[in-house]
Amino acid sequence: MKKLFIYLFAALAAASCEHKDLCYDHSHTVDAAVAFDWRNAPDASPESMSLYLFPTGGGKALRYEFTDCRGGTIRVPVGSYEALCLNSDTENIDYRNTGQRRSFEVTTRTTPLLGSLSGLGVRSESAPRPEGTESERVVLSPDMLWSDRAEKVVLAQSSAPQTITLYPQQSVSSYTVEIRNAENLKYVSGLSGSLSSMAESLYPGVGCDATCETGATIPFETVVTADKTAVTGSLLAFGCPSTRKSHTLTVYAVLSDESKWYYTYDVTDQIHSAPDQRNVHIVLDGLPLPKPIVNGGGFQPDVDEWQSEEIEIPM
């Protein structure tokens, strides 16, 4: 009888311990509505959004994905968080140091400088770079990006509705280029451009203007106008580095006689003094492309070498 009592007591004790363990391991969670309010970017309509929640007491960041740009409902462990949202329907953008809000970094991949001219047998490695930019990483233009952040989001165990509201806004800058009075465009076999010393990355968890100090060169496609008198182009960028640098726009051209030419323009003032830093329009005058030499007459440049010309911009 005494042994039976001991066995019964041990079984009850084991069951009691097991119940306590289950209660201790239980994660308390709460449903929260996530609302992306687009009042700061009313024309935006990304296909998907990401929300990152960073526990203020430390721990792994939580990521939630939404296919509706207006938001949705998520289930989250109760606690205090910092938050970051950005659209995730991008192709060129990479993320680094995503464990904390302030270190979260958005950048783009390395790319050849003269991608559009590779079909003509022109190697990017041999293309000249503006003085002082030779060591800059050549990167893809970012996709359109919208983001917002919140320094404190508290989710409590409660039956009352809880909502996380964020207000995404445009986080990259648009640059358009117009080169007027271009000469001999009808003899061009290929044309491309690049813009130097732009910000290599952005810290959206700090702010939409929190760029890194490192400069990068961004290639972009150029288009000859129908009347063959001008060249246009456009690109997106994270903006200027946090320590402002000078910016050079370079045009690379291959003519029908296979000669290669490049022209550089100092566009620093046009970029830094633009009234709207999110939409910068660069206007240049003159692209003096030569007329190719035919029938052996005149000076014939070496087609394996780049011929250069620096274009001065009137102040």
Task: Report the largest interatomic distance among the alpha carbons of the chain, rounded to a whole angstrom.
Answer: 121
Domain residue limits at 128: 26-311
Phi, psi of 136 (to 5 degrees): -70, 140
Q: Is residue 147 part of a domain?
A: yes
For residue 246, CA distances in Å to 68, 215, 249, 257, 262 come to 40, 10, 10, 34, 19
Q: How many CB atoms lie within 10 A of CB 214?
A: 17
Residue 195 has pLDDT above 50, yes or no: yes
DSSP state of 124: G
115 band by pLDDT with thresholds 50, 70 and 90: confident
Q: Is residue 8 part of a domain?
A: no
CB 148 within 8 A of CB 34: no
pLDDT tens digits for range 18-51: 333 333 334 689 999 999 999 999 999 999 999 9
Q: Is residue 204 part of a domain?
A: yes
Phi, psi of 126 (to 5 degrees): -95, -5
CB 173 within 8 A of CB 278: yes
Q: Is residue 14 part of a domain?
A: no
Looking at residue 114, its amino acid is L
pLDDT at position 142? 98
CATH number for the domain harbouring residue 118? 2.60.40.2100
CA distance 172 to 177: 17
pLDDT at position 86? 98
Q: Is residue 15 part of a domain?
A: no
pLDDT tens digits for range 249-264: 999 999 999 999 999 9
pLDDT at position 116? 78
CA distance 269 to 217: 17
For residue 42, CA distances in Å to 39, 143, 204, 289, 309 come to 5, 18, 19, 43, 43
Work out how many domains the chain is built from and give that number. 1
Q: In what order do the strands lie in the sheet with 71-77?
A: 71-77, 29-36, 163-166
Q: Closest Cα to residue 168, out of 104, 98, 88?
A: 88
Q: Is residue 134 part of a domain?
A: yes
The mean pLDDT value for 257-284 works out to 96
CB 199 within 8 A of CB 215: yes
CA distance 236 to 132: 22
Q: Is residue 273 part of a domain?
A: yes
Report the DSSP beta bridge partners of residue 242: none
Q: Is residue 245 part of a domain?
A: yes
Q: Closest Cα to residue 169, out of 133, 120, 202?
A: 202
Distance of CA 232 to the CA centre of its chain: 22
Burial 70-102 (b: 16+ CB within 10 A, else e): ebeebebeebebbbbbbbbebeebebeebeebe
Whole-number average pLDDT of the chain: 89
pLDDT tens digits for range 58-108: 999 999 999 999 999 999 999 999 999 999 999 999 999 999 999 999 999
